[in-house]
Structure 1
Amino acid sequence: MSIAVESLGFFMAALGLLMLGVTLPNSYWRVSTVHGNVITTNTIFENLWYSCATDSLGVSNCWEFPSMLALSGYVQGCRALMITAILLGFLGLFLGILGLRCTKIGSMDLSRKAKVAAIAGALDMLAGACGMVAISWYAVNITQDFFNPLYVGTNCCCASQEDPTARAQLTYKTSTVVMPTATSDEGDSSFGKYGKNAYV
């Protein structure tokens, strides 16, 4: 294998590790925007570690997930996979430096350098696989929640198996307007974790 190919593989592994490092603390793994209510939070966003609410003025209020055992199983799994991916990526990058033929660290011959480079490449591929599984798993759960009619964050749904004759038999009811009344400081259970500045 040429030195150029080894160097390209090393820099690609470093770029992959950098992307994993940027992805893990990113706040926008899940974003929900709520519009149309009298009292509403403009945007709710979360990642694997905390959840935040931002109002229309741009004021944010965040809270960390209280307990690891209280989290969903897929969030715990995604955390473990992402941390494992970063650790494997660091180890692969370190071994990649040792395995490059253009580096002179110690008195390693070319055959040992080739073995170390192969181990580094395997670790980098394993790190990439862990990162892809974690991100895909999280995305699948977001998609399932979006299309779930019983999920709190979904406002409406249309059943694909709905009978059109049943829709035609629905009676029309006039709409009523309910004026909001003054309530105590207790908020809605779904948004009770945020302070008063999270509401518009």
Structure 2
Amino acid sequence: MRKRLIQIFGFLISSLGWLFVLCTMAMDYWRITQIGGQGGSFIIKVAWYWSNLWKDCFTDSTAVTNCRDYSVLWNVSYYVQAVRGLMMCGLTLAFFAVVCCFVGMECTYIGGTEPTKDKLVFSGAVFHFVGGVSCLAAYCLYINRVARTAFASNLPRGELRYDLGPPIFLGLVGCFLIFFGAVLYVVTVIGVIFPNRRVIQVYGRPTYMPPAYKGRSMYTGYYEPSRLYGSYVSGRTSSKVSRLSQPSPRLSERDAFV
């Protein structure tokens, strides 16, 4: 029952994280800057320049927005192309991760036997982790580009200093949720990682013991009994013990007299 609840919780957490990541691809204001808004005039004039993965836009103080879409792929900056590629790779892996985890969960009636379902859940957790790393690398690349421009000492003429927008922070939260959901999946299928270990009770606490120590205890298994008098096999003594335990032959009267 506890395994089922953890898997359901992990499914919800990881799915919510991927939903956050998916929303950030369509959101505006990946980077934003403000020009104006200060001065002695009683009419405050301000303008906002902002961008996302698909267009550059300008919004004036009258709330009129003019945008320039990225026309073709090779006219886009290299880091925007890299961010797009990493995000799409992460979302593709997310599809396989969600399918594997859904089929392998204990609460579903598809996927085969329990060992097969555990392997599917473990594979889905790996897909979640790799996809989350891909999306996290995309956000970090975009953050690095914006930060390098913002903290540069000398900017080229006409280039603006941008700030990070809300989609970046929402995506980082989504990556954290994805990693947390993957960890919950792995916790429920720890037997797939260590298939040759079993749980034994040592002083009332469960402990994992490798197969080399099966059948041994604190007092047996390390010191073998002496083989001087043979050994016990299946409740019967060996031939050597049998010969030692046989009664001695009866002596004749002449030998007894001597």
Q: Structure 2-normalised TM-score?
A: 0.55
Q: Is the partner of 2:67 in helix, strand or coil? A: strand
Measured against aligned partners, the alpha-carbon deviations of 1:138-182 in whole angstroms (never above 9, x if no partner) come to 01100101122224214xxxxxxxxxxxxxxxxxxxxxxxxxxxx
Name the structure 2 match of 1:82. 87
Q: Give the gaps of 5 or more residues in structure 2.
A: 40-44, 162-258
Counterpart of 1:11, as a letter, is L
Q: Is the partner of 1:56 in helix, strand or coil? A: coil
Give the Cα separation in 2 of the matches to 1:69 and 1:76.
9
Q: Which runs of 4+ in 1 moved over 6 A?
A: none
Higher strand share: 2
Q: How many residues align?
A: 152
2:99 to 87, 94, 99: 94
Structure with larger Rg: 2
Give the Cα separation in 1 of the matches to 2:155 and 2:24.
30
Q: Per the alignment, do residues 67 and 49 of structure 1 end up closer, same or farther by CA in structure 2, a change over 3 Å counting?
A: same
Maintained 8 Å contact 1:13/1:89: no
Name the structure 2 match of 1:134. 138
Counterpart of 1:128, as a letter, is G
Name the structure 2 match of 1:21. 22
Task: Kindly indicate whether residue 127 of structure 2 is the aligned counterpart of residue 123 of structure 1.
Answer: yes
Q: Is the partner of 1:103 in helix, strand or coil? A: coil
2:49 to 44, 48, 54: 44
Q: How far apart are 1:8 and its partner, in Å?
A: 1.5
1:114 to 114, 118, 129: 118
Aligned-CA RMSD value: 2.0
Name the structure 2 match of 1:31. 32
Maintained 8 Å contact 1:84/1:127: yes
Counterpart of 1:21, as a letter, is L
Q: Give the gaps of 5 or more residues in structure 1.
A: 155-200
Maintained 8 Å contact 1:52/1:63: yes
Higher helix share: 2
Name the structure 2 match of 1:189. none
